[in-house]
Amino acid sequence: MNNEILIFGSLAFDSVQTPFGKRKNILGGSATHAAISASYFTTPIIVSAVGEDFLDEHMQLLKKNKINIKNLERKKGKTFAWEARYGNNPNEREVLATYENVLKDYSPSLLPEHKKTKYVFLANNSPASQIMLLDQLESAEFVIWDTMTFWIDKYTDQILKILPRVDIALFNDFEAMHFSKETNLIKAGKKILSKGVKKGVVIKKGEHGSFLFTHSFTLHLPAYPLEEVKDPTGAGDSFAGGLIGFLAKTGKVDDNSLKKAMAYGTIMASLTVEEFGADRFKKLKKKDIYKRLRELKKLIKF
């Protein structure tokens, strides 16, 4: 297949507390959320590693979603784990603990058959490992990239080397301001774009929606309005999965498809946060996605 998506990120056991409840050791991680989201559009290939505690039931869940796990290594030790707490404002979270475990010294190594994948999502990871993955790609046509504050602070130089190699750079509002040293998001987005990003910079604002700044236009989409955000974890990765999933499926990346891809990202993120972990996708039908997309269109029409 020509429209598969390579997703380099984490598979994790997440423990989260939100005003709607608690969950311990549920399947999470950037690659999980992105891949499940992307699986509604095309076939995701996960590049990552898990530990001995990653059970068959977890593998089955991935397979059930038609996620390619041939490039997923099982290593000695424990799977990456993460604990966080959210308050009433879903845009603010407190990370309580991060256990890198098997991902600590993980170097991604692509199977020969995956090196020619055209669509690639570099989810949050160390810039060094992201560069390692970029170097193995032989015919990538569209790369989207994510990071977090921790890497921005520590490895600015490496990030500046990555930016001109990616088509879309993803930031949340806080990260964008932090990286650009601007307090205004419009300025922040344009400044990051000027660092050489090929097509565009996305700034995700959680419940306030998202921006896409490109060299020729700016798009602003609101979030799909939800009365309850049960668990914000994975929203950004689902967003990325929907965005690149739609583009890979349509097989072209022009202005119009990029704008639509942003809308699909918005919808996939809104679905994720409605339940804990990836629970919302257990019974999700494609028509639910299209319905929500039509509602989003109506929501902003004047």
Site of interaction with a copy of itself (CB under 8 A): 88-89, 183-187, 190, 205, 207-209, 211, 217-222, 225-229, 259-260, 262-263, 297-302
Q: Closest separation between CB of residue 299 and a copy of itself, Å?
A: 5
Place of tokens 């583009």: 247
Return the SS3 of 66: coil
Q: Closest separation between CB of residue 90 and a copy of itself, Å?
A: 9
Nearer to a copy of itself, 51 or 189 (CB): 189
* Residues 16, 18, 23: CA angle, nearest 5 degrees: 35
Q: Closest separation between CB of residue 158 and a copy of itself, Å?
A: 28
Residue 104 phi/psi, 5-degree rounding, is -55, -50
Sheet holding 81-86, edge to edge: 21-28, 12-18, 81-86, 93-99
**Residue 71's closest CA among 48, 103, 87?**
48
Nearer to a copy of itself, 20 or 99 (CB): 20
Place of tokens 């119009």: 256
Nearer to a copy of itself, 3 or 91 (CB): 91
Q: What is the DSSP string of 100-133?
A: -GGGTT------GGGTT-SEEEE-S--HHHHHHH
Nearer to a copy of itself, 133 or 263 (CB): 263
Nearer to a copy of itself, 78 or 191 (CB): 191
Phi-psi region at 25: left, alpha or beta (left = phi > 0; alpha = psi -120 to 50): left
Alpha-helical runs (H) found in the chain = 30-38, 56-64, 127-136, 149-154, 156-162, 173-180, 185-193, 235-250, 255-272, 286-299
Q: Closest separation between CB of residue 300 and a copy of itself, Å?
A: 5
Nearer to a copy of itself, 96 or 226 (CB): 226
Q: Closest separation between CB of residue 122 and a copy of itself, Å?
A: 24
Q: Closest separation between CB of residue 295 and a copy of itself, Å?
A: 9
Q: Closest separation between CB of residue 221 and a copy of itself, Å?
A: 7
Nearer to a copy of itself, 17 or 101 (CB): 17
Q: Closest separation between CB of residue 252 and a copy of itself, Å?
A: 15
Nearer to a copy of itself, 107 or 216 (CB): 216
Phi-psi region at 46: left, alpha or beta (left = phi > 0; alpha = psi -120 to 50): beta
Question: Which residue type, as a one-letter code, is found at position 101?
Answer: N
Cβ distance 202 to 185 under 8 Å? Answer: no
